[in-house]
Structure 1
């Protein structure tokens, strides 16, 4: 009984459990919304989320700069207060920019927007985006303060509210109700952040503090926004060149595949400050061992989720015949998105070492490649919609490989084999390519074969993951700074 109580009082367990439950609810909600909206209106819904994604990227790296600066100033309360206060002020200015950009919609006649007929819903877009900017900043600050209850509440409240609302809302107003729920679901956590008064700030403007945040933020912005735009531009190409119904199928596939990505982002959000702190070391040997240890746990776990998802999704779609045609797109989306996990540790190291300029150049190059490959796949090779997302996989691969190259260049002697094995070990490469090849040629039981190969080649790493999970359950201070 004591062990059980200890587990349920562990903040890591409670946080991860809340994320599991939240993503399960999101999964059910996405399917229910897709079934009741149908491909066309789900395409409209997906386009509105795409617009919100664009506005959400306009944070100029403020939140990411705040994370790094807070970690680097963790023992200086006066500096922390100054960073928090001026970060909030900068987000106010960004919100004004979002409002100005949104007003342009009413004065510029764009046929692309007419295609999706979003006039009735357009006001939701800037309001949700602005609240989102503040929530993300407060999430960063509360995570730094190890206040995981508020963090979990913000990340879980909106999905829970959407889950409840979609089952009680009339079908003819479902899309409007969903967007209204998004708005309320983001606003309530914002009030919680404000009234809990856990933020160490004073409303004192400091030009030096703003300059410090912005200088670091600009390169981080170029890095984070370009990296985020890789997936957003792929979605934009599909929304432009394919029909609204086709984009509905893609949005459905993306929403399911994104559930896995969101779970991984929850883990990275939880551990990133600790990892940045660990990687900010001058001992190269120790740093390299830390990178290898994190990779053996995080990347292996990511790919394990990938292979499980590929096995699980066909059974899920059997219950929804209308959406069964989305399975090839769903599989390709999952395969492409999972390549993100390979670069996590390497990009974190470069960030910890203040290499934001280098990261920004790599991500801009990767974004350019994604735009070029997407265009060629659609306009030159006329591929089916599900293969357009492969441009994203190629871009993530290039970003990760270049990040790995510069990390090894800084801390270790390297050769190409050592470098590539650090980025994508053979134990992951073999089952990954077996899966891609099998799915491309519609080989029966491809997912089961690749999962079996993965388990055999990664048995030792999977055991290490179990040991680490037990360790985290018994000691929640693992994530504390």
Structure 2
């Protein structure tokens, strides 16, 4: 036992995850404090600012994602890898120019929607944060490939810590300025850490062909990523447009807390992504299918476990927040929606590893259109309350999971009927407790929200035991997730 603990403590993966979970706890607590100090109206404004930052973050031309995959696929060619990094920064300059021009346009002509949320001069700080974020995201990608998790942990931790620090100084309108300052300061500190550590080489040679390769691959990955993220962001946009600021504030509060679960899982997927791409880029279809099944057994099972545990806990948070006591149902439904993000895990990674960039871009774009159409139907025709608009995202993520599973299995040479494709990505052991959870949440009886968890545990006993074994392996074997 002592030997296991000793190995776990030496594992960089464990250290990184600990820093992420500590950060998520800080973010979770900060979200509650911010919501309390701002109130629904000003929290709606803050939610809109975060929405703008999310748009800027996903409009990244796919540069970081393209470089990530290209370097992993060519990791034995050191000179080419350095040139990929150098030319990626040249590609980013086009993005920076577009952001600056947007700021100039806003200065002269303004944007009417921003008036509703009283953005004013804060938009210029949003543009600066966007530029710094793109630089740090690319550096973080390069550091991850080099297995440098310490610097990444600093970047991902410093902003939440500064936000937590500043919330004690002001409230309402003035607090918004402090929060923006935390984002600017955190990005600057992280950039200095990346530069001073100097653990990755970004000084290469200008190569027009490499720039075109990055932009070409990046464009499809950009469409894939932006469409995938816009599925949830578009819901936030629809609510921000068709509902009042207070209701958008309640939804922003719900999304902030529900998203904490997704962030927990993204910490794991971020660390293992280069390793996964490396493992799935081969041609041994039988072996690859086994790897995908093993990955999904651990990752998806963990995702659903966390949500079912969270459902009966969430009401405790809203119980003590008078202004947000009506957000319990929205919080639970949002958590059930965002967790469907994970059901495509493994299949999407396989398609990326096999350079099916065009296909996966087309799939995400189709699902985004479906999401927007369904959300508008819910709002304009059925006139549902704001919390039920998230149903569009549930359906869109489910459709995406079905399509990625179908095409991944097709390229693996595995034939299934349509019903079996559904059960492939959404096994009956997950589907039954999930549907029950949705019914329980809509019904609104807190006393029975533990039932989905109990049924999930009974149906997935074998998968949970395998999950424990997998986690023990990752904890006890240092560097298991490294490329080298």
Give the TM-score range, shorter chain.
over 0.9
Preserved CA contact (<8 Å) 1:435 1:446: no
* Length-normalised TM-score, structure 2: 0.97
For 1:206, the equivalent position in structure 2 comes to 207
For 2:220, the equivalent position in structure 1 comes to 219
Aligned-pair CA distance for 1:443: 3.6
For 2:188, the equivalent position in structure 1 comes to 187
- Please give the per-residue CA displacement for 1:332-351, whole angstroms capped at 9, x wherever unaligned: 11111010100121110000
For 2:382, the equivalent position in structure 1 comes to 381
Preserved CA contact (<8 Å) 1:84 1:199: no
Preserved CA contact (<8 Å) 1:154 1:189: yes
Pair 1:46-2:47 in alignment? yes
* Distance in 1, Cα, partners of 2:279 & 2:447: 42
SS in 1 for 2:109: coil
Matches within 5 A, 1:1-400: 3-169=4-170, 173-400=174-401
Aligned-pair CA distance for 1:205: 1.3
Aligned-pair CA distance for 1:16: 0.7
Preserved CA contact (<8 Å) 1:234 1:389: yes
Aligned-pair CA distance for 1:134: 0.9
Aligned-pair CA distance for 1:299: 0.3
* Distance in 2, Cα, partners of 1:167 & 1:6: 39
* Distance in 2, Cα, partners of 1:452 & 1:386: 26
Aligned-pair CA distance for 1:187: 1.3
* Distance in 2, Cα, partners of 1:311 & 1:15: 29
Aligned-pair CA distance for 1:366: 0.5
SS in 2 for 1:271: helix
Aligned-pair CA distance for 1:444: 4.5
For 2:461, the equivalent position in structure 1 comes to 459
Matches within 5 A, 1:466-481: 466-481=468-483
* Length-normalised TM-score, structure 1: 0.98
Aligned-pair CA distance for 1:167: 2.1
SS in 1 for 2:260: helix
* Distance in 2, Cα, partners of 1:304 & 1:256: 16
- Please give the per-residue CA displacement for 1:383-435, whole angstroms capped at 9, x wherever unaligned: 00000011111111111111111011111122223322220011100000000
SS in 1 for 2:345: helix
Aligned-pair CA distance for 1:109: 4.1
Gaps of 5+ in 2: none
For 1:415, the equivalent position in structure 2 comes to 417
* Distance in 2, Cα, partners of 1:149 & 1:312: 32
For 2:444, the equivalent position in structure 1 comes to 442
Preserved CA contact (<8 Å) 2:11 2:478: yes
* Distance in 1, Cα, partners of 2:171 & 2:238: 32
* Distance in 2, Cα, partners of 1:423 & 1:15: 29
Preserved CA contact (<8 Å) 1:432 1:450: yes
SS in 2 for 1:323: helix
- Please give the per-residue CA displacement for 1:155-178, whole angstroms capped at 9, x wherever unaligned: 111111111221244666211111
Preserved CA contact (<8 Å) 1:61 1:224: yes
Preserved CA contact (<8 Å) 1:146 1:480: yes
Aligned length: 481
* Distance in 2, Cα, partners of 1:312 & 1:456: 20
* Distance in 2, Cα, partners of 1:378 & 1:108: 30
* Distance in 1, Cα, partners of 2:78 & 2:212: 19
* Distance in 1, Cα, partners of 2:172 & 2:341: 36
Aligned-pair CA distance for 1:7: 2.2
* Distance in 2, Cα, partners of 1:2 & 1:337: 38
SS in 2 for 1:311: coil
Aligned-pair CA distance for 1:195: 1.6
* Distance in 2, Cα, partners of 1:103 & 1:203: 32
1:109/1:282 CA distance change after superposition, 3 Å:
same
* Distance in 2, Cα, partners of 1:293 & 1:354: 22
**Greater CA drift, 32-41 or 418-427:** 418-427
- Please give the per-residue CA displacement for 1:72-118, whole angstroms capped at 9, x wherever unaligned: 01111011101010111111221111111222222334332211111
* Distance in 2, Cα, partners of 1:228 & 1:4: 38
Preserved CA contact (<8 Å) 1:80 1:200: no
- Please give the per-residue CA displacement for 1:317-373, whole angstroms capped at 9, x wherever unaligned: 222122111111111111110101001211100000000100011111111111111
- CA RMSD in angstroms comes to 1.3
1:477/1:322 CA distance change after superposition, 3 Å:
same
Preserved CA contact (<8 Å) 2:8 2:478: no
1:172/1:109 CA distance change after superposition, 3 Å:
closer
Aligned-pair CA distance for 1:51: 1.1
* Distance in 2, Cα, partners of 1:102 & 1:400: 37
**Greater CA drift, 68-77 or 195-204:** 195-204
* Distance in 2, Cα, partners of 1:8 & 1:161: 27
